[in-house]
Structure 1
Amino acid sequence: MGLNEFILGLNNLETITRAPGFFKYTEHTVAAHSYRVASISQVLGDIEELAGVEIDWKSLYEKSLNHDYTERFIGDIKTPVKYASKELRGMLQTVEEGMTEKFIAQEIPAEFQEIYRRRLFEGKDDTVEGEVLAIADKVDLLYESFEEIVKSNPEPVYQEMFFESVATIKEYSHRPSVVYFFEYIFPELLDQDFYGRAEFLKKLI
């Protein structure tokens, strides 16, 4: 028993479609999403650090890189299904955690097991790094959905994803990185022409 299965699992993430059935113009995989979230977390961490916040970079990189690794076990379930009820979400989480623990026990050498329990279980907590991860995850979804919007995809789900992401990010307005995001980054994202732009921007007011 070595770390072979963990590394093989990275290949699995390249074949798992993110938000299956939603994105039409650009296919997104869990592996690509994990990389983007890690990169966005790095950007947000830099902003936090410049604002005087102490960042545990090892923790931030571990959380962001591994935050969706366990989707190799159950895939990326459609959000409306995943959040249809608290009971269903709880059951899915229980299954995922059980499969993760079984994977660690069977495939990870004993001397590394506590390390991988830390890495593979829920990283979105009330630490600075956990909050930055939660923000970065939604920033990536915001960009993913906006790409479909500017390409004139008529499905309303993309605007729903976009505005839900904006609302969730704003819940972390106490973080310097969120203040910076909405002051400097977000306006640049919106500063492009696309069909229905005027009506779209009205919904942000």
Structure 2
Amino acid sequence: MNEENYNFFAMLNRLSLIERWSLMQCRQKENVCEHSYQVAIIVQALYYIRLNKLTAVTLPQIKLDLGELLQLALLHDATEVITGDLPTPVKYYNPELKQAYKVVEDIAAQRLLALLPPELQANYRPLILTGENTAAAGTLSEQQKLNRLFIKAADKISALIKCRQEAALGNQEFAAACSKTEQRIGELQLPEADYFVQHFVRAFSMSLDDLNHAALDAESKESVILQNEYRIE
């Protein structure tokens, strides 16, 4: 019986130790593990928005796979357990630095894959080494391109939520980031992302009292206890 140990999942678990927004003064810290979960939740919503035709559909001939999207979302920043979360102003300082960082990400991806049993590496390779940072990027299928667009949109929406939450707490550090991030989401020209921003993002800045108040039905609003608890008039 082969009792060799593999470190892949133990390494991924350490994504909870990698803090995001390292150059920003944050009221509430956020780590890569939390962010990856949120991106998965958002991309699931984008999928259902598309499935239920709540917006005009982009590239309607392409059918998305929710399972594949969720897998990509959960592992979209997996290499940061090795590289760390490099701040955007550094990562995109110039084309040369951007390209160099892509090479570093590829090396990190290969290192992570090597921590898996050989039999599992083929399953995880397309989720971690997506082709974005290699010569193969030019050969991506339309399906893969749309997958990547949905993940990118969910990633930026997650960033917008963070910016809005910090701004709601009075943190002016994120004021400029809010407008820039929302602009970049619009530039993706993905109707599903625009729908999510329009209908769901504002609530992330609401207080718990306001969220609970909005969720009360007519019967609950007649409760004296809840009237006192949520200051219902």
TM-score range (shorter-chain normalised) is 0.7 to 0.9
Structure with larger Rg? 2
Deviations 1:153-183 (A, max 9, x none): 132xx1232122111211233x331342244
CA distance in 1, matches of 2:4, 2:73: 23
Give the Å deviation of 1:148: 1.2
Which string of whole-angstrom CA distances, capped at 9 and with x for unpartnered residues, describes residues 94-133 of structure 1?
A: 01211221332x3222222222210102487763322111
- In the alignment, what sits opposite 2:71? 62
Q: Which residue of 2 aligns with 1:19?
A: 21
Shift of 1:46: 0.6
For 1:2 and 1:79, locate their aligned partners in 2 and report how far apart those are by CA, in whole Å: 38
Partner of 2:119: 111
Q: Distance in 2 between matches of 1:188 and 1:79?
A: 26
| Structure 2 partner of 1:99 | 108
Aligned to 2:36: 34
Structure 1 Cα separation of the partners of residues 18 and 192 of structure 2: 30
For 1:199, the equivalent position in structure 2 comes to none
Which amino acid in 1 is paired with 2:46? Answer: L
- Runs (4 or more) in structure 1 with deviation over 4 Å come to 123-126, 186-192
Unpaired runs of at least 5, structure 1: 193-205
CA contact (8 A) 1:138 1:165 kept: yes
d(CA) in 2 for partners of 1:90 and 1:151?
Answer: 36
The Cα shift of 1:57 comes to 1.2
Q: Identify which of 161, 180, 204 aligns with 2:195.
A: 180
Determine whether 1:72 maps to 2:81: yes
Could you tell me which of 63, 84, 99 is aligned with 1:90? 99
For the structure 1 residues 98 and 182, does the alpha-carbon distance in structure 2 shift closer, same or farther, using more than 3 Å as the test?
closer
| Residue identity (%) | 28
The CA deviation string for residues 74-109 of structure 1, in whole angstroms up to 9 with x for no partner, is 1001121111111111111101211221332x3222
User: 1:165 aligned to 2:173?
Assistant: no
2:171 is the alignment partner of 1:153: yes
1:128-155 Cα deviation digits (max 9, x unpaired)? 3221111110001001011111111132
SS of 2:41's equivalent in the other structure is helix
- The gaps in structure 2 that reach 5 residues or longer are 133-139, 208-233
Question: Residues of 2 paired with 1:130 and 1:141: CA distance?
Answer: 16
Q: Which residue of 2 aligns with 1:198?
A: none
| Paired residue secondary structure (1:99) | helix
Structure 1 residues 76 and 190, CA gap change in structure 2 (3 angstroms) = closer
Note the aligned Cα RMSD (angstroms).
2.5
C-alpha contact (below 8 Å) 2:35/2:158 kept by paired residues: yes
Alpha-carbon separation, structure 1, partners of 2:205 and 2:82? 36
Q: Which amino acid counterpart does residue 29 of structure 1 have in structure 2?
A: N
- CA change 1:2–1:39 in 2 (3 A) is farther
Q: CA deviation at 1:47?
A: 0.2
